[in-house]
Amino acid sequence: MTRRRNCRYDAVFLKTVPTGYRMAINTLTDADCRRATPNDGKLRKLFDGHGLMLAVLPSGNKVWRMAYRNDQGKQQTAVIGPYPLVGLKEARDRRDALRLKLLDGEDLKPKRKTSPSIALDVAIDTYWAGRTDISAGYKANALRALAMYVSPTLGTKTVREITKEDLMDALRPMDAAGLSVYVRRVRMWVGQVLDWSIQHGHCEENPASNINSKVAFSRKPREGFAALALAEVHPFMERLDLEDEIQSVLACKLLALTWTRTDELRRMTWAEVEGDVWRIPGKRMKKGREHLVPLSSQALDLLAEMKLRSRGSIYVFPNDRGGSRPMSENSILYLIHRIGFKGKMTGHGWRKVGSTWANEHEYNSDHVEVQLAHKDGGVRGVYNSAEYLKQRRVMLQAFADWLLKKPDPSGLER
């Protein structure tokens, strides 16, 4: 016969614990709460004991919650308040007060309120109007996507009424249409709006944070950027020279001559050009490291022409609508489409063209990787911005000579 241990009954959590066993409580410190950050962009929970937890939302906002079980044994969560408005000591006091209510048989589930919740469309407009830390283009893109995919079905609902199922119903058509990357962004943008709504007392939960995009949505196989075969490069260049939109043509050619990324080139400033070197600051590089690009004689000729066309702008390639902004992010891509190479070439494709050419001509692979500002594991993963500068200059000059030469009448190409 099995002997039952001496136990006591915890009415709050509906479970028995051995007599003498002490549940860990008050495990957090003020420093823990202040330093807490999201777990790689995901919801993080810091537990303090007796059900109290500090939920760190993906946005970085923090909310005190208490987990408990109701009379039917169902897991429930009570919202205590936002941190740091509600500090650690006050959160513990509120937790203990709620536990007493549970012991008295009270229901902690708040009654559904009709106020001060607001419609999702109102929350979207208010939240994004207050985002001054992002570009106008990014904001417009987010608002356009939310208006197209979320507002038609959920815009008039209050943020307190919206459920996880509501959001999934709105997002599934995007996933079914193959917008696998965009659907994740829309889920993120809705989640940011709902996080803001929590902080302003318009709702208590963020159902978007309970959607695991990796599980909920399909994953589109990663495809490389379209790039020309070497035999197609000179016919492309001949067609490019027939275009009359000179700035886009010059930008496309300089992109080809430098093997840089499109965004790095379109934001290029005259201050970054130091003689025959282009110094790209780390804040504009994908890997966050300064990058030096040796400029061939042909690249310098293109820059000299753009100097006459840039109308005093700080940017080498200013926007058509004003020199205070760089050229549009799609200018080069639309140019490629216009000349008949849609689906065959992209601005980013010049990096692949350059790499392929260099490998076929047996240039050192380390020199190629550094010029592409890639980061490989091991020794090749660490380098300073000036590494192999002399060798890369020779390589890019040879590439420029090949790229901009007149095609061989015999039709022979490497």
Name the residues annotated as catalytic.
Answer: 261, 286, 348, 351, 374, 383
Ramachandran region, residue 63 (left: φ > 0; alpha: ψ -120 to 50; beta: rest): beta
Q: What is the DSSP letter of 79?
A: E
Q: Which tokens go with 86?
A: 């509600």
Cβ neighbours for 258, distance < 8 A, ≥ 6 positions apart: 265, 278, 293, 295, 299, 396
Cβ neighbours for 108, distance < 8 A, ≥ 6 positions apart: 68, 70, 76, 78, 98, 101, 102
Q: Which SS3 state, helix, strand or coil, does residue 254 take?
A: helix
User: What backbone phi and psi angles, to 5 degrees, belong to 389?
Assistant: -60, -45
Cα–Cα distance for residue pair 140/194, rounded to 1 Å? 19
Closest CA to 197 of 189, 206, 188: 206
Spacing of C-alpha 321 from chain mean position: 27
Which residues lie across from 81 on neighbouring strands? 64
Query: What is the Cβ-side half-sphere exposure of residue 268, based on CA atoms within 13 angstroms?
Result: 25
User: Which CA distances in Å does 369 have to 25, 340, 372, 373, 377?
Assistant: 53, 30, 5, 6, 12
